[in-house]
């Protein structure tokens, strides 16, 4: 076979593999990286989809948490830490830690951002939805 034909066959095979890969529609695949801004602390991979609870949690997070912790929980330099970070993995900061932080605030202990004040207007159910969102972001980034 001539080199030109080998290249054509290889290109067709590669195109076929790519078509199969993208056609399977695996919802656990990730779709994009968060943009890095001047204040972002980390860049994360976003999950392709969110569960119903996590989608609701994202809406609440965006309204109550993103001002400090930034959209998609990437943190803001000099303001608040990223929540998609190994420090906040479930075995170190369990769900109740998030509940308590939202309800009562928390003294600075891992980062130098100062103390976190309580977040007004959140119920335990609201925080549970926010936790679902954060945990799905964490899993998409290998934090489990």
The pLDDT value recorded for residue 6 is 44
The pLDDT value recorded for residue 38 is 72
The pLDDT value recorded for residue 10 is 41
The pLDDT value recorded for residue 33 is 58
The pLDDT value recorded for residue 39 is 82
DSSP class of residue 92 equals T
The pLDDT value recorded for residue 34 is 58
The pLDDT value recorded for residue 36 is 59
Q: Using CB atoms within 10 Å of the CB of residue 24, give its burial: 0 to 12 exposed, 13 to 18 middle, 19+ buried.
A: exposed
Ranges of the chain with pLDDT below 70 = 1-37
d(Cα 44, Cα 37) in Å, to the nearest integer? 12
């Amino acid at each position: 076979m001539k080199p030109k034909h080998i290249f054509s066959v290889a290109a067709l095979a590669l195109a076929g593999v790519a078509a199969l890969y993208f056609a399977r529609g695996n919802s656990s695949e990730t779709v994009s990286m968060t943009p890095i801004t001047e204040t972002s602390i980390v860049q994360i991979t976003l999950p392709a989809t969110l569960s119903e609870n996590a989608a609701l949690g994202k809406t609440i997070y965006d309204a109550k948490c993103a001002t400090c912790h930034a959209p998609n929980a990437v943190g803001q330099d000099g303001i608040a830490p990223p929540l998609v970070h190994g420090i906040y993995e479930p075995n170190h900061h369990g769900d109740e830690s998030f509940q308590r932080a939202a309800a009562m605030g928390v003294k600075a202990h891992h980062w130098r951002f100062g103390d976190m004040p309580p977040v007004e207007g959140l119920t335990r159910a609201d925080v549970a939805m926010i936790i679902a969102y954060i945990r799905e972001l964490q899993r998409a980034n290998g934090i489990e």
